[in-house]
Amino acid sequence: MSQSKPSIFIGRWQPFHAGHKKLIETVLKNGKPVVVAIRDTEVSEKDPYSTAERWTMIQKELAEYGTLVKIIVIPDIDEVCYGRDVGYNVRQIELDKETENISGTKTREESKPTHDIIWLTGQSGAGKSTLADELAPRIGAVILDNDEIRESVAEGTGFSPEERKAHNIRVARFAHSMAKRSPVIVSVIAPFEETRQEITKLIKPIWIHIKRDLPSTSDRPYEEPKSPDMVIEVSEATNPRESAEKVIEFLRNQP
């Protein structure tokens, strides 16, 4: 028996997130094939990911559906037009509230202190990820973790000073895009002061220095921030919950 004709989904996918996946799965889970069309937008602050990077994101997230998914690239279209008797259906998929929230229509709770982007900077092993995991559910934030980013959309990125800077700037643009939907906690070392200053000009994050007595070596360089918004001193005895409380209190007192 021949496979049914596919449904097509067109988007920028900047980035391809959980809401996008769930939307497309409304078709895939019925065993119907889909074509995911990537609009070939130019890389910019608004659209920080290249076509190849978005292709990789989509391919990875929908890999379980195998040949049911075909990914194509189309020009950056202005509109979709159709005439009478075109031979196919045009339909809007009704989203449940959970999917709409994932897609970016979630209302922030006024009781929660929120800032668009909180950047936890500090040496490798200082405790950034631990604090991010403790803090994120308390303020309704998503986490951009350095290890996860390097293993996915930034796979293959090197560690020279130039590559570290390029990686940090890319993460900053990604965070800016994500912050349109929810608060973002960035757990990325960002080792160089000059790069942090550029990031501040670009997205104006809340800088929190996770400070721990660790050695700085040639393969793990780190320049301490000159004027972070907040410093969290970390040791073996530090309680992550207490650190999170300090950050929340700090955020509540921000204008």
> Using 50, 70 and 90 to split pLDDT, how confident is the model at 112?
very low
Nearest to 48 by CA among 173, 186, 166, 167: 173
Task: Say if domain 7-105 classifies as CATH 3.40.50.620.
Answer: yes
Provide the residue ranges of all domains of the chain, joining segments of one domain with +.
7-105, 117-252
Fold of 117-252: Rossmann fold (3.40.50)
pLDDT per position as a tens digit, 40-84: 888 777 787 778 778 888 988 898 999 999 999 999 988 888 777
- Mean pLDDT, the chain, whole residue set: 83
Angle, helix 161-178 to helix 193-203, in steps of 10 degrees: 20
pTM tops 0.85:
no
Number of neighbouring beta carbons within 10 Å of residue 171: 24
pLDDT per position as a tens digit, 8-24: 999 999 888 888 998 99
Contact (Cβ atoms closer than 8 angstroms) between residue 193 and residue 223? yes
Residue 142 DSSP SS3: strand
DSSP for 17-71, please give it: -HHHHHHHHHHHTTT--EEEEEE-PPP-SSS-S-HHHHHHHHHHHTGGGGGGEEE
The label of the residue with tokens 């994500």 reads 178
- Across the range 22-27, mean pLDDT stands at 92
Q: Is the pLDDT of residue 106 over 50?
A: no
Stretch among 33-37, 84-88, 100-104, 166-170 having the lowest mean pLDDT: 100-104
Residue 156 DSSP SS3: coil
Round to whole Å and give the CA distance between 36 and 7: 9
For residue 103, what pLDDT is reported? Answer: 47
Topology alike, domains 7-105 and 117-252: yes
Q: Which residue has the higher pLDDT, 93 or 124?
A: 124
pLDDT per position as a tens digit, 150-181: 665 555 567 788 888 988 998 898 888 788 77
Q: Is the pLDDT of residue 114 over 60?
A: no
Stretch among 80-89, 96-105, 118-127, 169-178 having the lowest mean pLDDT: 96-105
Q: Is the pLDDT of residue 148 over 50?
A: yes
The label of the residue with tokens 């965070």 reads 175
Stretch among 31-45, 73-87, 124-138, 190-204 having the lowest mean pLDDT: 73-87
